[in-house]
Amino acid sequence: METEARTVELNRCGLTLGDYKGAPSTLCPGCGHNAIAAQVQNAVWELGLPPERFVKISGIGCSSKSPNYFLNRSFGFNGLHGRMPTLATGACFADASIHILGFSGDGDTASIGMGHFKHVIRRNVPMTYIIENNGVYGLTKGQFSATTDQGLVLKHQGVNMLPPLDMCMEALISGATFVARAYSGDAKQLKELIKAAISQRGIAIIDVISPCVTFNNKDDALQSYTWGRDNEAPLHDFKHISNKDEIDMANFEPGTYREIKMEDGTYMLLRKIDRDYDPTDRNAALDLLTESYKNKYFATGLIYFSEATATIQELYDLPNEPLNRIGNDRLRPTQNMLVEINRSLY
Amino acid sequence: MIEASKITYEGDGPIVNEFCITTCTVNGSGSATANNILYRTLFHMGIPTSGKNIFPSNIKGLPTWFVIRSSEKGYTGRQLHDDIVVAMNQVTFEKDMEYLANGGVVFYADHLKMPETPREDLIYYPMPIKNLMKTADAPRKLQAFMENMLFVGIVGQVLRIPIEALNSTIYSHFSSKPTIAESNFQMVKAGFDYASENLEKKDRFFVKRLPPLTDYILTDGNNAGGLGSLFGGVEFCSWYPITPATSLVEAMIDQVDQLRLDPITGKKTCVILQVEDELAAMGAAVGAGWGGLRSMTATSGPGLSLMTENIGLAYFTETPVVIWDVQRVGPSTGLPTRTAQGDLSMIYSLGHGDTSHIILIPGTVTECFEFGWRSLNLAERFQTPIFVLSDLDLGMNQWITKKFVYPDQPIDRGRIIWEDELEQFKDWGRYKDIEGDGIPYRTVMGNQSPKAAYFTRGTGHDDYGRYNEDPENWAKMLLRIEKKLRGAIPLLPEPIFRRSKEEDVEIGIIGMGSTDDALRETQDVLAEKGISSDYMRVRALPTDSAVREFIASHSRNYVLELNWDGQLCEILKLEVSEYSQKLISISDVGGMPMTAEWAVERIINQERKEGKRGN
């Protein structure tokens, strides 16, 4: 019903949800990544920003194919395995008003691109970095990844002997100021987290557990639909709103939620579910992730948030207008400057 | 090892402005400034001079040499033997003297232990460095630096360099720090005074002032390449430190704040970013190029290996980017602080599958400046990676070179189209050959037209960037790229010719890059021996028709280069295959710059083999 209504409904910039669509997906039916694609489309539409204000950059793998399936009117770059953060690093200087959406998988980020993942966080490249984490190599047909649970048995691989990496933990200790975990089976929360991530000034990391229906969906596998459905434990009822008028629509009773204002003027609303969890407490986040890892506790939601530190763009004193539109006459030093150089080298 | 002692000097009169001085020190001992003062003074006195640092891959404690060649005739390439040695390092003392020609000169710190049987043909000047230091009032911290300034004074005096000339160079070197200038000058003067009072001139070498070299400057190729890039309007440079490319980017860092402030807003228009490795350096450079910035990186052989996958991606996605390769000796870590021309074959087709790149090869420092800005224009015009192939010798050593010339072409952004221009196309596609020259029109991120976006991918794609695995489409795409790059050839730097005074000579000499000085000298020495030759320096690949004509018009073309396999020769044999019989490879690599002595000997030997000439 909701989707149908949106085909005619216009967002703040006068566009329909259809204006944010992509090519038809060629991923397996039921793939968790398709759900992510749908929520990116929904999130950007709801934010009311034109698709031309986004670019999509990805690496290689099933996850990295997915940007083709939403935001047709955004530039996309499906680059090299593991190197998405490096492309984003260069591209972010071209036009600082454009938001970069980075898409990667667990093979792409946790293995071949781990170094770049840590360094793109360290540099604080302003972007939303989504890891579509299914714990398996899909496009090469079913090998273990660095996030595969220890002891998992796969058809041609045998038993996974090594412990997994926790990408939220990696992000947190690298200095990320927005770290979230989501589950592609929980579309509503995922969409809200994506909206909040886009609103963050610096880099925002979302590790989305996204089942691979073909190679890693056994009921007891940590990245399976069954496990996710039975064990997902959202930290909060989470909502991202553009302005306070939307609070009513969120059906959040006064006094039942915490409100966090973001630097772009939007708000995150967090309503307690079971435990008292403060995502602005870094130690609490570390404890939570340690506990989750140890006890296979599938906590989702906003794990850590703080005001962004300076982004890499901000560390350079660049003009306000896009660097890629600066006129040629402003890029070449003068004749006199060269005369002075020649003089100094005599 | 050459038998330098068998080399003798002609006649018995003074040898004016033609000599090679090697200072032999320990690295980290602060001899760089002293060497700088010496060669720059010679240059200021109007004598063409070069300075080559022969250094180990080490920070402190290993032997290092600095070679200054002065030549009134303008030959500033390396020479095999030394004329003057300044010995400051006990470890290499005996060996250093073996390089001196018969009748050569040794200035030695007198605390060094003399070999048991010193060569009798040499002329020795002791330098009481330790004693002079005792009387001098040098701060303890600067002791080592100051010791080196002493030899500048002693050598200078014996060569009859006026003290005023040394003084003026010192003050211009330390122009912002007059106190330091003065204390350095006092050390030079102490050495100078010691020499004039105590040393009797026994050697034949003299420095004589010539008209000033007002059209020239003295600097290194990396400084020139970095500056050329800044004048070319580079907007983004990501990099990872590697010898010998590091100083190219450091030259940019050093000057970007002065040169690249936006005249309107006063803000910076160029980002220089050191990243985690060369994979990231190339990735970020490709990302910036894709985003519509004039983008570059600089590296050396091992870095290129890591950059390869991204370069293939840039080639196939048609993303402009400039890559400087300042070559060193490989394979592997090889000789990381020594020079070579061994990356040519690798670069020419760098990437898996079918890639064929444009390479610019500067042979002089001023060309490093020129190719710095030209390469950025070519990259954006042809939407492809452009390589600039330099090497350690050209990049890190000091060369006399023509003053940098202000770019005579405007900044060319190629076929980037924005919102309004896009409206004029009925059926635009990112990879569509609208003009028939293989070069498509390109939109970049930030373009707000709903029609502007496309999906860039390294996989097979059609005219509109859509995924495509059709064999015919694949062939069409490669053919168009080939056509596009063929179209670049007329815009590449044409070869430089230096013809013999005689007509229709049989011998062609072919070289590239930093060997230019050595090969010009080679040509002249051969001519003195009655062997006429024409010389061609290749400045770009793929080759143009002028290269073909040169090869065709000579019976024997000697291709001289600093690598093991004769890589330029192999490429020319393929590109000018109908004349491959006319191409003869003379190549060697040991980490040292080419010398005319080596080249002359090898060409004469080969000529003997060819049975064309005796000697």
CB B169 within 8 A of CB B44: yes
pLDDT number for residue B56: 87
Domains, chain B? 11-206 (3.40.920.10), 219-402 (3.40.50.970), 496-609 (3.40.50.920)
pLDDT number for residue A252: 83
SS3 of residue B29 by DSSP: coil
Report yes or no: A44 at the B interface, CB cutoff 8 Å. no
Of A255 and B429, which is predicted with more confidence? B429
Q: Which CATH number fits domain A2-317: 3.40.50.880, 3.30.930.10, 3.40.50.970, 3.50.50.60?
A: 3.40.50.970
| Chain-chain contact of B233 with A328 (C-beta, under 8 angstroms) | yes
pLDDT beyond 80 at A250: no
Q: Which residues of A touch B457 (CB under 8 A)?
A: 77-78
With 0-12 CB in 10 A as exposed, 13-18 as middle and 19+ as buried, what is B532? Answer: middle
Crossing angle, helix B178-198 and helix B163-173, to 10 degrees?
Answer: 160
Q: Which two tokens stand for residue A7?
A: 């085909």
pLDDT number for residue B614: 45
Q: Which residues pair with B272 in a beta bridge?
A: B237
| Chain-chain contact of A116 with B280 (C-beta, under 8 angstroms) | yes
| Chain-chain contact of B450 with A52 (C-beta, under 8 angstroms) | yes
Dist. CA A198–CA A105, nearest whole Å? 19
How would DSSP label each residue in B281-317? Answer: HHHHHHHHHHTT--EEEEE-HHHHHHHHHHHHHHHHH
What is the complex's ipTM, to 2 decimals? 0.97
SS3 of residue A248 by DSSP: helix
What type of residue is A132? E
Q: Which residues of A touch B458 (CB under 8 A)?
A: 78-80
What type of residue is B188? V
Least confident of A243-257, B61-75, B405-419: A243-257
Q: Which residues pair with B358 in a beta bridge?
A: B386
Report yes or no: A323 at the B interface, CB cutoff 8 Å. yes
Dist. CA B484–CA B504, nearest whole Å? 36
Dist. CA B44–CA B38, nearest whole Å? 10
Dist. CA A7–CA A13, nearest whole Å? 15
Tens digit of pLDDT for each residue in B81-114? 999 999 999 999 999 999 999 999 999 999 999 9
Report yes or no: A158 at the B interface, CB cutoff 8 Å. no
pLDDT number for residue A1: 44
SS3 of residue B537 by DSSP: strand
pLDDT beyond 90 at B507: yes
Dist. CA B615–CA B612, nearest whole Å? 10
Angle at A183 between CA A182 and CA A186, to 5 degrees: 105
pLDDT number for residue B615: 41
Place A7 in a pLDDT band, splitting at 50, 70 and 90.
Answer: low
Provide the b/e sequence for A307-343 (b: ≥16 CB within 10 Å). ebeebbbeebebbebbbbebeeebbbbeeebbeebbe
Measured torsion, CA atoms of residues B315, B321, B322, B325, in degrees rounded to the nearest 10: -60
Nearest to A326 among B218, B259, B262 (CB): B262
pLDDT number for residue B395: 98
Q: Report the residue of chain A nearest B312, measured CA to CA.
A: A80
Report yes or no: A50 at the B interface, CB cutoff 8 Å. yes
Place A5 in a pLDDT band, splitting at 50, 70 and 90.
Answer: low
CB B439 within 8 A of CB A41: no
Torsion sign, CA atoms B425, B430, B433, B438: positive
Q: Which of A193, A195, A180 is nearest to A300 (CA)?
A: A180
Q: Which of B174, B265, B454, B455 to mutate to test the interface with A (most CBs of A within 10 A)?
A: B455
Place B413 in a pLDDT band, splitting at 50, 70 and 90.
Answer: very high
Dist. CA B615–CA B611, nearest whole Å? 11
Report CA-CA distances (Å) from B210 to A29, A293, B17, B217, B402: 83, 78, 9, 16, 17
Tell me what the pLDDT averaged over chain A comes to.
95
Report yes or no: A256 at the B interface, CB cutoff 8 Å. no
pLDDT beyond 90 at A75: yes
Average of pLDDT values for B296-315? 98
Closest-CA distance, A221 to chain B, in angstroms, reads 32
Tens digit of pLDDT for each residue in B485-506? 999 999 999 999 999 999 999 9
Closest-CA distance, B284 to chain A, in angstroms, reads 4
Dist. CA A109–CA A103, nearest whole Å? 9
Dist. CA B565–CA B567, nearest whole Å? 5
Average of pLDDT values for B307-314? 98
Dist. CA B509–CA B507, nearest whole Å? 7
Report CA-CA distances (Å) from A257 to A47, A243, A267, A277, B339: 22, 16, 12, 12, 67
pLDDT beyond 90 at B139: no
What type of residue is B171? Y
pLDDT beyond 60 at A94: yes
Place B578 in a pLDDT band, splitting at 50, 70 and 90.
Answer: very high
Count CB-CB contacts under 10 A for residue B440. Answer: 20
How would DSSP label each residue in A211-225? Answer: -BTTTB--TTSTTSH
Average of pLDDT values for B536-545? 97
CB B383 within 8 A of CB B196: no
Average of pLDDT values for B379-392? 98
Measured torsion, CA atoms of residues B515, B520, B522, B528, in degrees rounded to the nearest 10: -170
Q: Residue B286 contacts by C-beta under 8 Å, 6 or more apart in sequence? A: A79, A86, A87, A90, B295, B310, B313, B314, B317, B319, B321
Tens digit of pLDDT for each residue in A30-44? 999 999 999 999 999
Kindly give the residue spans of alpha helices, DSSP state H, lying in A55-152.
62-65, 84-91, 106, 114-123
Closest-CA distance, B403 to chain A, in angstroms, reads 6
Q: Which two tokens stand for residue B61?
A: 């404690």
Dist. CA A54–CA A57, nearest whole Å? 10
Kindly give the residue spans of alpha helices, DSSP state H, lying in B99-159.
129-135, 143-158
Kindly give the residue spans of alpha helices, DSSP state H, lying in chain A.
2-6, 32-47, 62-65, 84-91, 106, 114-123, 167-173, 187-199, 225-231, 246-249, 282-295, 312-315, 335-344
pLDDT number for residue A236: 97
Q: Which two tokens stand for residue B572?
A: 């020319």
Dist. CA B42–CA B365, nearest whole Å? 19
Closest-CA distance, A155 to chain B, in angstroms, reads 29
Dmax (CA) of chain A: 77
Residue B574 has phi, psi (to 5 degrees) of -80, -40
With 0-12 CB in 10 A as exposed, 13-18 as middle and 19+ as buried, what is B593? Answer: buried
| Chain-chain contact of B275 with A328 (C-beta, under 8 angstroms) | no
Closest-CA distance, B70 to chain A, in angstroms, reads 16
Q: Which two tokens stand for residue B554?
A: 């000579």
Average of pLDDT values for B309-318? 98
pLDDT number for residue A251: 78
pLDDT beyond 80 at B2: no
Of B558 and A254, which is predicted with more confidence? B558
Nearest to B267 among A51, A319, A328 (CB): A319
Q: Which two tokens stand for residue B415?
A: 């076929």
CB B251 within 8 A of CB B227: yes
Task: Please confirm whether the linkage preceding B542 is cis (ω < 30° from 0).
Answer: yes
Q: Which two tokens stand for residue B19?
A: 């000599």
Task: Please confirm whether the linkage preceding A333 is cis (ω < 30° from 0).
Answer: no
Tens digit of pLDDT for each residue in B236-268? 999 999 999 999 999 999 999 999 999 999 999
pLDDT number for residue B398: 97
Average of pLDDT values for A262-282? 95
Q: Which residues of A touch B462 (CB under 8 A)?
A: none
Closest-CA distance, B495 to chain A, in angstroms, reads 26
| Residue located via tokens 């990872």 | B240
Average of pLDDT values for B185-206? 96
Report CA-CA distances (Å) from A138 to A29, A58, A60, A84, A105: 13, 16, 11, 18, 10
